[in-house]
Amino acid sequence: MTDYFHLMAHRESLNAISNLGLAHLGDAVYELMVRSWLCLYGKATAKGLHKAAVRYVAAPAQARLVGKILPDLTTEEQDVFRRGRNASPHAIPQNASRGEYQTATALEALFGWLYLRGENQRLNELFERMMEGE
C-alpha cells in the first residue's frame, strides 16, 4: 500500500508530471501547512480561520512571502521554481497580477515537487522561513 503522506518519488516519475500538475499538488501542500500553522499558533479564531487562510494562500501573499526564500533555494529547486513560473495557466484570478500568479504557481510547483520527493524537512524549513514575522 502506498503511504501518500510520506512519498519518495523517483526522478523519472517527477519529470513526467507537468508543471501545472506539480503546482496543483503543491497548492494543497501549502494550504495544509498554512492551516496547520494558523491552528497551532492561534493566529485566528475558529470563526476567522478560513478568512485567515485565504489571506496567506492567495497569489499576492504567496508572491510576497516567496521573496524570503528565493536566495536560499538550491540550484535544483531554482530549476523547479523556474519551470513552475513558466507554466501557462488557463486563467488568472482577478485579485492577482500575472506576475504574482506566476510566482505563486512557481512556489506551489516547488512545494509539490519537494512533497513528492519526500523532502518534508526541507518543506518545513522553507515554510518556516516564509512565515517568520507573520
The pLDDT assigned to 20 comes to 92
Which residue type does 115 have?
A: Y
Tell me the percentage of the chain whose pLDDT exceeds 70.
100
Q: For residue range 38-66, what is the model confidence (pLDDT) as tens digits?
A: 999 887 777 788 889 989 999 999 999 99
> Where along the chain do its domains lie?
11-131
Mean pLDDT of 68-75: 97
> Measured between alpha carbons, how far is 61 from 96 in angstroms, rounded to an integer?
9
Residue 59 belongs to what H/E stretch?
helix 59-66
CATH topology of domain 11-131: Ribonuclease iii, N-terminal Endonuclease Domain; Chain A (1.10.1520)
CA–CA separation, 51 vs 45, rounded Å?
A: 10
Q: Which residue has the cell 518556516?
A: 128
Q: Known catalytic residues? A: 27
At 75-111, the pLDDT tens digits run 999 999 999 999 877 777 778 888 899 999 999 999 9
- C-alpha angle 121/124/128, rounded to 5°? 145
- 84 touches 77 (CB < 8 A): no
Mean pLDDT of the chain, nearest integer: 91
State residue 23's pLDDT score. 95
Q: Which pLDDT score, from 0 to 100, does residue 96 have?
A: 86
Q: What mean pLDDT comes out for the span 7-32?
A: 92
Q: Count of alpha carbons within 13 Å of 41, Cβ hemisphere only?
A: 14
With a CB cutoff of 8 Å and minimum separation 6, the contacts of 41 are none
SS3 state of residue 16? coil
